[in-house]
Amino acid sequence: MSLNLTELRSHKLLAALVLGPGTVFSAALIGLLAWLMLGLHPALAVILGAALASTDPVLLRSFLRLQCVDGYVKQALRLESGMNDAVLLPAVLVGTAVLKTGGMAAAGWGKLAVNMLLLSPGAGIVIALAAIGVLSFVRTRTGIRRDYESIYSLGVAFAAFAGAEALHGSGFLAAFAAGLTVSAMDVELCDCFLEYGEATAEMALLFTFVLFGTSVVWTGFSVVSPITLAFTALVFLARPAAFIPALLPANISWGNRALIAWYGPRGLSSLLLLLLAVFSNVQGAAELVPLCSLIVLCSVMIHGSFPIFMVQSKSGKTPQPVPPAEPAPAAEPKEEVCTDFCVLPSAATNGYSLSEGDYITPGELSKLQSSGVPYSIIDARTERTFTPETAADSIRINPEQSVFETRRKGIPQDRYLVIFCT
């Protein structure tokens, strides 16, 4: 749901290179290494390769917020972390099916393809469309609070998962398809989810990290040996070996290309993809969990400290927060001074007043413009919904730091602020 479809359409080539040859070749190289070095069954090597090629969005988040990272690098990694599991999950499902059945006839492969490509995504899309329709009906009839909409979006995810599993499909693919559908069809529901639901999801992820951190992940130390350490090092090198050639058609600098190729942290998503095979009782999958945990531990240490190294190498020291600009002193004293943004007295507005409610209509805006009352049009759209097209004479404000941004851009306090956010 947090995937920006406008950004995806604007960078189709980059998305195709990252999710196509980049992700696929990376998984293939790791799988080949697992087959040659560890002697795994080819299908089990495919599962391990797909799991270790998955980048973790939680570990990526702090890196994507660094101001010193080029926007093109952020776009590539954001697209990869949001969509690469949709490419890697089918590989895990195919490998699991092969190991459980010992090989399938043409009819079996056809059924698996229908489940992955049609049934599972179809269930997610249908449930998402139905949920959007119900929500639209409730909005027009009674209204609904935004925090409840965010919880509603979590319900859509669970419903899509359960619906696909009831049809013997993949609940994960269904939930992924439902999220994409909501992102494309209902921007408001997405924003509500990102405001509150994302924090809930983040807490769930961190709680899962705690569970893994107190149990499974430490089994990685039990398999430390020269062969596993060599395999771990080659897994880290497999991503650059796959991504640097894959990104050659993209018009980006070699420094950015190397940064995209290097920064692929493994974390919770790698463990979860492997555990899908474990929960399906695939023979030999449980023995790979300690090895995957070892690679995750190394990735957390190496990739987790990399943003700090980047910040220090760019600036020479850890950046300090910029203090807010002092408000400009008033030109002359007035009888009544607002110490913060507040409702103007009637004398300052030439008798103009808005109608009751939080919204201003186009007619009221025209009336405001012709009244001579000072006003400013504020563009407060979120980064996810922002597009270069803006209203005439509007001032771009980051909604997450609205007061600081308004002061920094020197917007006087003696005026109406007309804000649009969608």
- Give the integer Cα–Cα distance in Å for 167 and 127: 13
For the chain, residues with pLDDT lower than 70 are 2, 4-5, 7, 102-108, 195, 197-198, 307-358, 382-392, 400-401, 422
What is the dihedral angle through the alpha carbons of 364, 143, 198, 215, rounded to the nearest 10 degrees?
Answer: 170
- pLDDT tens for 78-93 read 778 777 878 888 889 8
Across the chain, mean pLDDT equals 78
What is the pTM assigned to this prediction? 0.66
pLDDT attached to residue 200: 76
Nearest C-alpha neighbor of 232 from the set 309, 313, 294, 163: 294
CB atoms within 10 A of CB 291: 23
pLDDT attached to residue 201: 73
pLDDT attached to residue 316: 52
pLDDT attached to residue 51: 92
Domains belonging to the chain, first-starting first, are 5-315 (1.20.1530.20), 346-420 (no CATH)
Nearest C-alpha neighbor of 386 from the set 187, 153, 132: 187
pLDDT attached to residue 127: 94
Q: Are 282 and 44 in contact (CB under 8 A)?
A: yes
Long-range residue pairs from 142-148, CB within 8 A, at least 24 positions apart, any chain: 146/192, 146/195, 146/196, 147/192, 147/195, 147/196
pLDDT attached to residue 317: 47
What is the DSSP track for 41-67? -HHHHHHHHHHHHPPPHHHHHHHHT-T
Q: Are 1 and 153 in contact (CB under 8 A)?
A: yes
- Give the integer Cα–Cα distance in Å for 176 and 161: 9
pLDDT attached to residue 315: 53
- Give the integer Cα–Cα distance in Å for 9 and 75: 12
pLDDT attached to residue 319: 44
- Output Rg (C-alpha) for the chain, integer angstroms: 26
Q: Are 306 and 263 in contact (CB under 8 A)?
A: yes
Beta bridge partners of 394: 377
| Residue 102 DSSP symbol | T
